[in-house]
Each structure stands twice: as structure tokens, then as C-alpha cells.
Structure 1
Amino acid sequence: MQDVDLNLLAALDVLLAECSVTRAAHRLGLSPSAMSRTLSRLRIATGDQLLVLAGRTLVPTPYAEQLSEHVHELARNARAVLQPVNSTLDVATLERTFTIRANDGFVELVGASLMAAITETAPHVRIRFVSKPDKDARPLREGMIDLEVGVPGTTAPELRTRLLFRDRFVGICRTGHPLLTRVTAKRYASYPHVVVSRKRQFSGPVDDALGQLSLRRTIAMVVLTYANAMQIARHSDLLGLVPHSCLGSALLGDHVGSAGVQFFELPVRTPGISVSAIWHPRLHADPAHRWLRDTLFAICKNAGP
């Protein structure tokens, strides 16, 4: 790779972050004139001006804006490769933001406990939860997210997984729903249902089991989140289907009535749910990422039914 200078990559990363030759030079320990020459080399290498004057300030070109996030990831990976592995970690001084992709039920289940654990041991760590519209492996592969939580189902064989807890589906309905007097498969199928489906499908894991009994339920509504399903079941006669872990402590014991929604065991058997942490092997040996995984595992240890 005689024609590739990785120093240019680091310089481009800092220039795009600072949009200033002087500030970029200061960060890299160079003189402004040396930084200016480096910018000229980058312009020749990329065939783009990258940074142009707008009054007295520099602004990125459209091409530079496209490059910015990708360049930052490349520079970070290059630094990680070209420095000794540091296996020690002081979480008390760790400053890092982790992005976790998970559904709303998991955030409600562990969000507060995770925040409490972080506040106690790693006060400078921040967590960014993002929605999970699908099981696309690309965000993990490209470093857009650090960790995913859910049921493994991607076609990316290199991803690492660790079981967090096992779960099961349960039915939900409003408190006082007539079904609760006697829950049978036939009576269960006779009421209208609300189902959760990211793919907007009018079906769920219980339909195959009902079909084996020659029963078919009426699905009146499809929603995107379990929170939506619980809200609708609370204020209607529709029955819902959610993982037991989504219920939370507010729906258990003496709080069932005040919550306005109650859960019941399904009258048919459905497959169990294995909720796992999923990450890219690039981060497997990273001490901070390993600490996050271990912390999450400890919190989830008793989360399942």
C-alpha cells in the first residue's frame, strides 16, 4: 500500500470535525501551514475541494458531508488496529456513549435498572436507545449501533450472541373483560384481537396453534409496538399478545386493577422466546463493550418469566 497514507485519513477526520485548518492543526500538533498543505493533498487525492470558504469560515462540500461519518469510523478503526490492546478498564472514568437497538418493551423493562447501574459505577457513560424496525445486520456491521437486543434472526453469521433471558407470550385484556371468567381456546378466538407486527402482518405466533384446533381469530388491528397494544387493550374489548417481560411490575400483583389491563396465560401453546444480546466481533474484545454486555446480562438475569 505504498500509495496510501493513513495519516491523511486521520487528518481528514479532524478537518471535517473542526472545519478549521487552525483548530485541526492544533489537535494534530502541526503548524497551520503544514495542515494547509495536508488539506491540499487531500483535495488532490479525493478530487474534491472538501472545505471551502463561506465568508471567513470553512464549510464542507456536499461530498465532504457524505464522507464525514464514514471517515470518522475508518479513522477510529485504524487507530484501534494500530495501537496496543489495552485490556484494563477504569469504568469510573470511562467516557463513552453506547447505542443500543431494542424494542420499546425491553427499554421499559431494563432502562431504569441500567441507568442506576451506570450511575453507580460509570457516571460518565451515556446510553442511546434506538428503535428496532427490522433485523438488518448492517448497522452492527458498520458501527452505527454498538449492541442489539432481541431474537437472533439475521443472515450475518459473524455476529456474536449471548442469551439474556427466556420469555413467553401471554394474552392481555382490560380488567374485567368477560374472557377472564373462563379462558378457553374457543372463547379466546371469538373475540377481536390487536397484534404487534413490524412487517404489518395480520397474523401472530398464536395463529398456527389455533389452526391446529380448527379455530381462527379475528385480527381487527395491527400496531407497531407492544405499548400501543397494551393501551388499546386497556380501553377496548380487543385482546392483545405480548411477551411476559413487557408487562413490568405495574401489571403484577395488587396493581392489576389500577393499571386497567390484565394478563392471562394463553389457552394454546406458542414457541418460547430467547432474548439475546447481539454484537459485531469487532467489539468482542473491547473492554468497555464487554463491561456493557456483562452489566446488561446481570440486570436481565431475573427479567424473564
Structure 2
Amino acid sequence: MIEMLELRTLKIVHTLCMTGSVTKTAKILGVTPGSISYTLNKARKITGTALFLRTATGMEPDTFARELSSRYQALSIDLSGEKEGATLTDRPFVISSYSLAELLISLSVIDSKKTYPEIIFHRQGFNDTERVIKLRNREVDLDVGTRLPTDKSITQLNFFIGNAVVLASQSHPTIKDVVTMEDWQSNRHAVWLRGMNFINDDFERAHQFNEVTSQRNVAFTSSSTLNLISLCAYSDTLILIPEMVAQKVASFMPVKILPPPVELDMRFDCYIHYHHSMSANETMKSFVELFHSSFGC
């Protein structure tokens, strides 16, 4: 079935998997959106699958579309003789991370004096296995987040290690310079849907942390870290966040960073992941250097 599809069709499917947008795909490939839609309809008839579903966040590829994308990548490397250190200069750079990290990364790129390729932010899934597959199949160039399981095709770099701090609005009605356990228990909290994955090497301290956080008064839960930060800045809700991220946020949002009670003494480890074949790529090196310098790592 795949053999019945032209290389041009596979390229369209692959590009649409990366961008999630027919318009962006058409722009990248230098064709009209109508041409993209026409090719996709032909591919749907041949494969008997939908390939893509239109969602609020863009065109979401199904399993078969992802397989076609992987097949195109393999064929492209074979046809071009591309080896380790493939170029990224002729296409957008795909980054997978959280919404808040997207903002911080964007600000770093804008402030940089260097020129970078177009960046496409890819929504990071909840499943670590899915994140690994996307990196392995080169659907994502760079993944920023919690540490992924070891995979021989993926390089892992420690991005930063940050202690947990409490973030509150500068105009919070009751909390001024410190946060006591009474403050923690009496105030409302905003929580990230997938969790911050705070850790501690001490068994008792980790157990105590889980007990304290499970009893907090959660007013809001969101899948967007950026929404949580905004909510914290303009309400009386509290959030627990890595200190290094909090310092960046405090530079442009009306929030204050407060040390947590001893019961919340935890840390957050953040990692950068990319396909090992990109280790010698200059664009990849530039992005990694930029992230480290902009976060003071």
C-alpha cells in the first residue's frame, strides 16, 4: 500500500506531521493549500485511512500518517546520502516542550543576535514513550522536559536542576516575604495537569512532600504551564515551580519568588533530548548553547 504512494505524497504527509497546518505545509513546499488537500485526498483513497484529523490545535496525524512520515525520512536519507549531522537549514526546526518553556525559548531566540531557522513548537504528549518515538523518528528535533528513558538513538543533556519555590502574585493579599505551612494550607493552589515531577533523594522527605501536596486546596488544574503562571500573577493562587524558571518568569510577570516551607524542599531536573545523528549539527549546537546561556546554566 505504501509502495503505491509517490515520494511527493510522502513528503507532504511528513511536512504536515511536523507543522500541523495545511497552510504552513503549502508555504514550506512552495505549493497551494488546494494542492496539499488534493494530494491528501488521493492518499486517503489509496490507504483507506483518514491520515489526519482536524482539531482545535491543528491537523493531528494518525498512526498510519506517522508511519508514512517515518518512511519518508528513511527514503530521504537513502536518496540524498545524508549521514550523521544532517542539515537543518532548509526546513523549520521542531521543538517539543511545555507552553511556558515555549515562551521562554522564544524570548531567548528573539533576544539573541544570531539568526535561527523558523521554529515550530510541537505539543508535548503526556506519554514518555511517545516523546521517545517522535525523537527517534525525527518528527521532533529537540525535546525539552523531564528525563526520558534511555534510548540508544537519543542524546540526553542535563539542562538545569532547580529547587522548588513558591510563586505568588506581587499583590497577594496575605503572603508577603515568607510562606509558612499555614499559608500553604490556607491558600488556594493552581496545579499543572501532568505534574512537575519534583524529586528528592531522601525517602522521608519525598513521602512528606507527597502528603503535603495531596492535601492542598486545589482551585485550578490546567494542561498549560503558561496559563498557570498567568493565573498566579493575577490572582491569589499559589504554584510550586522550579526556581530557575521562576527567576525568568519574574523578569516579565508581576510575581514574587518565595522559599517554600521545609516540608516542600524538593528539586526539578530538566533535560534536553535530540537524535544522536544531530550531535554534530551546527544549528542544534546553537540552540543548545542558547538555552544554556539564557537560563544561566
- Per the TM superposition, whether the score is higher than 0.5 is yes
Instruction: Determine the structure 2 residue equivalent to 1:127.
Output: 119
Q: Is the 8 A contact 1:165 1:304 kept in 2?
A: no
Which residue identity is paired with 1:129? F
Q: Distance in 2 between matches of 1:149 and 1:14?
A: 31
Instruction: Determine the structure 1 residue equivalent to 2:179.
Output: 183
Q: Could you list the runs of 5+ residues in structure 2 that have no partner in the other structure?
A: 13-37, 52-63, 200-204
* 1:255-276 deviation line (CA, Å, top 9, x unaligned): 7xxx432221112243322221
Instruction: Determine the structure 2 residue equivalent to 1:220.
Output: 219
Q: Distance in 1 between matches of 2:120 and 2:139?
A: 11
Instruction: Determine the structure 2 residue equivalent to 1:295.
Output: 286
Q: Distance in 2 between matches of 1:111 and 1:220?
A: 29
Aligned pair in 2 of structure 1 residues 183, 147: CA closer, same or farther (>3 Å)? same
Q: Distance in 2 between matches of 1:242 and 1:61?
A: 45
Q: Is the 8 A contact 1:189 1:218 kept in 2?
A: yes
Measure how far apart 1:147 and its partner are.
1.6
Query: Does residue 1:229 correspond to 2:221, yes or no?
Result: no
Measure how far apart 1:60 and its partner are.
0.9
Name the SS for the 2:165 alignment partner: strand
Instruction: Determine the structure 1 residue equivalent to 2:15.
Output: none
Q: Could you list the runs of 5+ residues in structure 1 that have no partner in the other structure?
A: 1-5, 19-53
Q: Is the 8 A contact 2:198 2:266 kept in 1?
A: no
**Superposition pairs for residues 1-305 of structure 1, below 5 Å?**
12-14=6-8, 60-64=42-46, 66=51, 70-71=67-68, 73-81=70-78, 84=81, 94-115=89-110, 117=112, 120-122=114-116, 125-134=117-126, 135=128, 136=130, 137-154=132-149, 156=151, 158-177=153-172, 178-198=174-194, 208-210=207-209, 216-247=215-246, 249=248, 251-252=250-251, 259-268=253-262, 269-281=264-276, 283-284=277-278, 287=280, 290-302=281-293, 303=295
**With structure 2 as the length reference, what TM-score do the two structures score?**
0.65
Q: Distance in 2 between matches of 1:89 and 1:82?
A: 13
Name the count of aligned residue pairs: 245
Aligned pair in 2 of structure 1 residues 159, 120: CA closer, same or farther (>3 Å)? closer
* 1:204-232 deviation line (CA, Å, top 9, x unaligned): 77984446789943223212222222222
* 1:19-55 deviation line (CA, Å, top 9, x unaligned): xxxxxxxxxxxxxxxxxxxxxxxxxxxxxxxxxxx9x
* 1:254-297 deviation line (CA, Å, top 9, x unaligned): x7xxx43222111224332222111234x345x4xx32332122
RMSD over aligned CA atoms reads 4.0
* 1:183-223 deviation line (CA, Å, top 9, x unaligned): 22333233221111227x9x977984446789943223212
Q: Distance in 1 between matches of 2:124 and 2:151?
A: 17
Q: Distance in 1 between matches of 2:152 and 2:11?
A: 34
Which residue identity is paired with 1:110? I
Instruction: Determine the structure 1 residue equivalent to 2:20.
Output: none
Measure how far apart 1:13 and its partner are.
0.9
Measure how far apart 1:161 and its partner are.
0.7
Aligned pair in 2 of structure 1 residues 298, 95: CA closer, same or farther (>3 Å)? same
Aligned pair in 2 of structure 1 residues 191, 304: CA closer, same or farther (>3 Å)? farther
**With structure 1 as the length reference, what TM-score do the two structures score?**
0.63
Q: Is the 8 A contact 1:195 1:204 kept in 2?
A: no
Q: Is the 8 A contact 2:77 2:83 kept in 1?
A: no
State the structure with more CA Rg: 1
Q: Is the 8 A contact 2:188 2:218 kept in 1?
A: yes
Q: Is the 8 A contact 2:11 2:72 kept in 1?
A: no
Q: Distance in 2 between matches of 1:250 and 1:211?
A: 25
* 1:79-135 deviation line (CA, Å, top 9, x unaligned): 4246555678898xx322111101122122221322455x7345xx21101222313
Q: Is the 8 A contact 2:154 2:273 kept in 1?
A: yes
Q: Distance in 2 between matches of 1:90 and 1:16?
A: 20
Which residue identity is paired with 1:299? L
Q: Distance in 2 between matches of 1:170 and 1:265?
A: 5
* 1:141-183 deviation line (CA, Å, top 9, x unaligned): 3332222111113475643211222223221112243122542
